[in-house]
Amino acid sequence: MTAQILGPSVPSCILLILAAAFIFSSSAAQQIATARILLYTATADFRHDSIPTAIQALHNQSSNFNVAFDSTEDKTKFTDSNLALYDAIMFVSTTGEVLDDSGKTAFQNFLNKGGNFIGVHSASDTLRTTPFYEEELGAYFDYHPALQNATVDVIGPSHPSTSMLPAEWHVQDEMYNFKSDPRSLGAVVILSANESSYVDTGVRQFNQGTPHPTAWFQEHGAGVQSGGIAGRSFYTSLGHLNETWEDNLFMAHVMGGVMWALQANTTKAFNASAEIGNSQSTTTASMVPASGSSSVQP
């Protein structure tokens, strides 16, 4: 199904074209090993039905982009020794307190050593009392109006996650509102919800800035502590429906953000002298169920 995109259907070749663009770009040419991502989908509050579909959709892109996803919902995987094997951590539709204090410390150490971060959808409704996470992500979720058709505008500088999108992208999704403006942390907003295209009867209590932030990136993730090595951070608030994750244009948007984040040149897949990351070519990781408590380790 392709209900997420309201315009003409997009052929699957768009993902292959995007992958080829990364392979032949000057940044991607520096890749020396398979990039490895810890894909975390744990939930402590609301759980999205689309999580298994999202996991499968990401694993399906592994061979196209020379990246391996290790899926887990086991918070004990957040240790210094385990996270040191990854080039990025990716939170997809996580909610609530999905890490304990030791896990948060390992996550912070990962970021301090140049680790990259990607967040999707309700990743912004996660670890709500953890300052470094809010800074690395960009802003916390506040509320959203009812699921409905809306228009998302491509704004800001050209970016690999938006280069394939129409200037006015018609979607069916939740238009998130946030508790702060991600631009206040140095984030660059690249997608904006067109507020004239949908109905929002909620009461806004926070200033999220204008235009309405929907997706953004940080060249240097603000969650790193002083003296650390800042990797990249990318976040998109879209991704609610199963149909969304089955849509080629949305997947091109997400994978564009993923690959851009990896090319920070701060991890071993791209930089042999980096402190963390995967330094060896590997086969594509196996899919594990979203409800599983273990991941496929390097």
Q: pTM for the complete prediction?
A: 0.90
Residue 288 has what pLDDT? Answer: 37
In 3D space, the residue among 134, 130, 39 whose CA is nearest the CA of residue 89 turns out to be: 39
The residue-averaged pLDDT of 77-84 equals: 98
Q: Does 102 reside within a domain?
A: yes
Residue 15 has what pLDDT? Answer: 73
Q: Does 201 reside within a domain?
A: yes
Name the maximum alpha-carbon separation found in the chain.
52
Question: CA 247 to CA 214: how far, in whole Å?
Answer: 18
Confidence of residue 296 (pLDDT cuts 50, 70, 90): very low
Tally of domains in the chain: 1
Note the Cα 60 to chain centre separation in Å.
Answer: 16
CB 224 within 8 A of CB 276: no
Q: Does 286 reside within a domain?
A: no
Q: Does 114 reside within a domain?
A: yes
Q: Does 20 reside within a domain?
A: no
Residue 20 has what pLDDT? Answer: 67
Q: What CATH number is associated with residue 216? A: 3.40.50.880
Q: Does 189 reside within a domain?
A: yes
The residue-averaged pLDDT of 75-91 equals: 98
Going through 31-104 in order, the beta strands assigned E by DSSP cover 35-40, 67-72, 88-92
| Strand-strand pairing, 168-173 and 35-40 | unpaired
Q: Does 91 reside within a domain?
A: yes
The residue-averaged pLDDT of 197-202 equals: 97
CA distance readout (Å), 171 to 4, 95, 129, 220, 257: 5, 23, 31, 29, 18
Confidence of residue 283 (pLDDT cuts 50, 70, 90): very low
pLDDT tops 90 at residue 67? yes
Quote the percentage of the chain above a pLDDT of 90.
Answer: 83
CB 28 within 8 A of CB 264: no
**81: containing domain:** 35-263
Q: Does 258 reside within a domain?
A: yes
Residue 280 has what pLDDT? Answer: 86
